Structure 1
Amino acid sequence: MTIRRLLLGAIAIAPLAACQTANIQPQATAEADPYAGWYVGMMPDKPHDVPLVDRSKMDAKYARQTVAYNGPEKPGSIVVDIDERLLYLVQSDNTAVRYGVGVGKQGFSWKGVASVGRKGVWPAWSPTKTMVGIKPDLPRYVEAGLNNPLGARALYLHQNGADTLFRIHGTNEPWSIGEQVSSGCVRMLNEDIVDLYERVPVGATVYVKRNGRYRA
């Protein structure tokens, strides 16, 4: 699939994005197609290659990088800071791998402590009952693939053995990274969720905090 076809697919699926997207539009370009120019190549993957995003279009704050980290969480933990729109994977040497993320719209953000209950490669997507109630015309199922709003990977967050229905997942809307756009899920660039997926096992602890706290 060419990048051009991918972009056209992204336009078609935009209203369906997992954890529904608000009216956040990509930066305008000189071309008639505002989505043009966001992708610069493909990263080999199976069963689909992963579109690589032009990082120059994004705030450098949201680039994947290793940073100093002195929080209390154990190595291997994931820490999501909703206010900063950043996700940290805690390492054993007082550092963390930091990624930019998109988070829930005002009033939809979830915070708390969960674990990675399962992991999915190029997952399919179905809307929750809440999403359907807000937008009844949503499709009830979207097959895995480049146009799927969960992107290339998903980490399913569980509490007490039950699915919370919140995910950390990829996105086909890279311009939404750094924004409050979803119905609570945490979204990452596809290339970043692939990287995180490979580093994190099932059972890893996930802390999602807002206003500096992850507990009520």
Structure 2
Amino acid sequence: MFTTDIESYRLSRRGFLNAAALGAASIAVSACATVGQRQPVEPPPPAYVEPPLLDYATMYAPVSDGGFDLPGIPYEKIDEQFLRQIVPDPTGQQPGTIVVDTVGHHLYLVRPGGQAIRYGVGLGRAGFEWSGDAVVQWKQKWPKWTPPEEMIARQPELAKYSADNGGMPGGLKNPLGARALYLFQGNQDTLYRLHGSPEWNSIGKSVSSGCVRLINQDIIDLYDRTPSKTPVIVSAGVGQQMVATPNRKAIPIDSGVPEGSILLGPVRAITDQVF
């Protein structure tokens, strides 16, 4: 009888332990199932980081393009602030916007993630300033140049390149350089351009007649990054809009988009301000 009681106790204790183990296992499985049913927490997307640019020696090296051989740029002779670089965006504009700072002589292409690609530019000298909002409505590689009548009146030697005479073909000495971005307001050609220039030593200065000029290697880079209908804002210092006045009327560098050119399509006017 005593032995039987001991065996019964052992069996009861074993059953209790087994039941407890099974219960713990059941709770664990239940917990796993509960955890498994939770929605996975998505990590926040990484902040956009603009891919690094090449070194200056590579960016400003000689380029063969469109049948022309662009010479290398002596970048060591240019103030570094006017060389192409990635900077924190000071404009507050939407990514994809081009902002020209006429005080700092910089052009910003706004990128995502609070960054911008900054280029040095040359601008119109005193009396030839221009400003406003526009849209890139036409783009051209090695564009033909047709000086406007106002410019020919000041420089009669340019008459041979008038629209009646067919303009100046694209080339290394063409004032519009390797590329030109044509600025429109609504469907109206403003006659102003973002363009290249063979005169690299004019970058950072105000010496041209009313347009924004870049180093040829830089305008090629900007051209490739600029899709159709890119908005352009020209300001006297980032965040400050210039106001054109009758006494400070800009004279454009170009007489107009060539007749028969295929534009990028109609766009709405961004502003009523006229260049």
TM-score by length of 1: 0.78
Q: Which residue of 2 aligns with 1:209?
A: 235
Structure with the larger strand share: 1
1:105-128 C-alpha deviation (Å, 9 max, x unpaired): 112111100000100001111101
Contact 1:51/1:190 (8 A) holds in 2 = no
Unaligned runs of 5+ in 1: 1-39
1:57-94 C-alpha deviation (Å, 9 max, x unpaired): 11111010000014231100000001100000000110
Q: Where in structure 2 are the equivalents of 1:195-206 lying within 5 Å?
A: 195-206=221-232
Q: Which residue of 1 aligns with 2:176?
A: 150
For the structure 1 residues 45 and 165, does the alpha-carbon distance in structure 2 shift closer, same or farther, using more than 3 Å as the test? same
Moved runs in structure 1, 4+ residues, more than 6 A?
A: none
1:114 is the counterpart of 2:141: no
Q: Where in structure 2 are the equivalents of 1:28-67 lying within 5 Å?
A: 41-67=61-87
Whose radius of gyration is greater, 1 or 2? 2
Unaligned runs of 5+ in 2: 1-59, 162-166, 244-275
Measure, in 1, the Cα distance between the counterparts of 2:141 and 2:76.
27
- Percent identity of paired positions between Structure 1 and Structure 2: 45
1:123-144 C-alpha deviation (Å, 9 max, x unpaired): 1111011101211221322111
- Partner AA of 2:150 in structure 1: T
Q: Choose the corresponding residue for 1:100, options 120, 137, 147.
A: 120
Q: Choose the corresponding residue for 2:109, options 74, 86, 89.
A: 89
TM-score by length of 2: 0.62
Measure, in 2, the Cα distance between the counterparts of 1:164 and 1:98.
24
- Paired residue secondary structure (1:132): helix
Q: Which moved more, 1:132-141 or 1:121-130?
A: 132-141
Q: Which residue of 1 aligns with 2:213?
A: 187
Q: Choose the corresponding residue for 1:175, options 201, 222, 242.
A: 201
